[in-house]
Structure 1
Amino acid sequence: MKIDCESESPGAFPQIVRVRQHTFRVDVGEITGGTDSAPDPHDYFDSALAACKTTTAIWYARRNAMPLERVEAHVERDDHEERQGKYTLRVRMVFHGPLTEEQRTRLHAAVGKCPIHKLMTTSDVVIEMAPLDPAS
């Protein structure tokens, strides 16, 4: 899979990102010098966790014939120690539907093992940098 990102205009922070047939924008906040015209990279990182948890809940409920009607994930970021290597994401989940307490407990356990949660907490992520020929 390939993701492409490029500046929207010369010398400005806003970026255009393309993933398969999807296009979205990235910017940084005004305090950083951007215009806050789109979520910043941290917002997308945190959003990936929220989306993974909600889609995992739906997948798990379908697979186990649970009456989950709707799910919410609320993520709060605490990045005040990011430069020291600590980045805290507090996640609160809400499962809507006529679920038993046992089903809610099982759903909570399932979303605790979503792929992005595991990637963020148990994987060694290797980023390889290489120059890109500007003519390509």
Structure 2
Amino acid sequence: MRKVQSQFGDGPLQQKLLVDDLQFLSDAALDQGGSGSGPNPHEYLGAALAACTSMTLKMYATRKAMGLENAIVTVDIERSDDIEKFTRDITLVGNLSLEEKARLLEIANKCPIHKALSGEIQIKTQLVN
């Protein structure tokens, strides 16, 4: 996997994110002291789960020749009592049987980001200078 780098951007909290030659922004909302120029880190976390879910569903459905035309995945994250609570809504578009829909729901729970977020996570932090 390619490394992600973050460094200060313009404005009070904006961050420039780099993945190889890809560049994008993260920021805090105006009411949180940022300039609102990009998704905040939690929104990127939700985006990672949503994108991984729909990619996983597309790969599986294609491999199994299912009639899945689209998978619309919406993720909301709320923090309560020091617990991150993810709500993931999936809309399956296409000619699918009830069995196929049930199987795709099972597959959604096997996407790598779902597994990472629901499993044990270790973060090693070190200064490099």
Normalising by the residue count of structure 1, what TM-score does the alignment of the two structures yield?
0.87
| Structure 1 unmatched ranges of 5 or more | none
The separation in 1 between residues aligned to 2:76 and 2:42, in whole angstroms, is 12
The separation in 2 between residues aligned to 1:127 and 1:109, in whole angstroms, is 28
Deviation at 1:12, TM superposition (A): 2.2
Higher relative strand content: 2
State the Cα deviation string for residues 74-101 of structure 1 (Å, max 9, x = none).
112222x1xx331111111111111111
Specify the alignment match of 1:130 in structure 2: 126
Percent identical among aligned pairs is: 30
Taking the TM superposition and a 5 Å limit, the aligned residue runs for 1:1-12 are 1-9=2-10, 12=12
The separation in 2 between residues aligned to 1:132 and 1:2, in whole angstroms, is 15
76, 82, 86: which one aligns with 1:85: 82
Specify the alignment match of 1:110 in structure 2: 107
Normalising by the residue count of structure 2, what TM-score does the alignment of the two structures yield?
0.92
Give the root-mean-square deviation of aligned CA atoms: 1.4
- Structure 1 SS opposite 2:16: strand
Specify the alignment match of 1:27 in structure 2: 27
CA contact (8 A) 2:42 2:77 kept: no
State the Cα deviation string for residues 42-93 of structure 1 (Å, max 9, x = none).
00011111111100100110111111111100112222x1xx3311111111
Compare CA radii of gyration and give the structure with the larger one. 1
Specify the alignment match of 1:97 in structure 2: 94
Q: How many pairs were matched up?
A: 128
The code of the aligned residue for 2:6 comes to: C
Q: Which runs of 4+ in 1 moved over 2 A?
A: none
CA contact (8 A) 2:73 2:89 kept: yes
